[in-house]
A and B are shown apart, each in its own frame.
Chain A
């Protein structure tokens, strides 16, 4: 027999694959896929959904104007920017759900910012200021900015 023939013969032996039966026999030693292994996936999914819901509902807070009921999806700490310049913050009165809120606003001379902390739910926020006759009248708030 020539070297080349022997070499060819030796290389003709193909690798034998393990039968599937082996997988079954060793399955008790394999790590079972735990249900909780998918928890991070669920968590990411939940956060994404909440983010979308939050984004949709959150958007409602920003463009809310005076006289519109304000729905707070979560506790909001924010401020209204009042359209009319008011020199003195003491000229402003804020009424939330029918009750006057005191010491919750300040002014930089041009705008008045009304600091509000609203719990989740529907709220009616009215911002008033003295008019020239010294009476309170409703004034328009531009936006509620979340802090």
Chain B
């Protein structure tokens, strides 16, 4: 598969993935660019042991993780800005904002499964491949993540 095709097929998915993790448009743009440059430079190393999507998102995952570990915390203003890309009522806005805050407080491995499933529309199998866990574990983490999330959101209300 040629880089042009890969880029066209996955640019929105990758940007979306990055965006809902860093919650900043400019950062998401920089990181997505970095991810695709890595994809370009490492295409000859892709061994087809996994799907191309899993390979690209494993690069995306590592790049985002590196970015987020550079002592960066999600700022309130960024949350507001990240949600302002869509039109919604004040209540919807507040609910989503609470959810994002709550999501940042639950165990990371659970939050990751939840983001992949709901924000990135990954299937159980794709999550299982990307994270290297069984489908059963994916399902149980997803269920637990929702429980954690509910509790965190209840605390906030």
* Interface set of A (CB-CB < 8 Å, partner B): 1, 3, 6-7, 9-19, 21-23, 25-26, 29-31
Contact A10 B114 (CB under 8 A): yes
Contact A25 B33 (CB under 8 A): yes
Q: Residue on A with the closest CB to B118? A: A10
Of all A-B residue pairs in the complex, the 5 with the closest CB atoms, nearest first, are A18-B15, A10-B118, A18-B11, A16-B19, A15-B16
Contact B7 A26 (CB under 8 A): yes
Most B C-beta atoms less than 10 A away, residue of A9, A13, A25, A30? A13
Contact A11 B15 (CB under 8 A): no
Residue B96 lies at the interface, judged by CB distance under 8 Å to chain A: yes
Q: Residue on B with the closest CB to A2? A: B150
Least CB distance from A34 to B in Å reads 13
Contact A22 B118 (CB under 8 A): no
Contact B92 A12 (CB under 8 A): yes
Other A-B contacts than A3-B150, A10-B99, A14-B86, 19 sampled, CB-CB below 8 A, are A1-B150, A1-B153, A1-B154, A6-B149, A6-B150, A6-B153, A7-B146, A10-B114, A10-B118, A12-B96, A15-B119, A15-B120, A16-B12, A16-B85, A18-B11, A18-B12, A21-B29, A30-B3, A30-B4
* Size bracket of the B interface: 35 or more
The residues of A that contact B55 with a CB separation of less than 8 Å are none
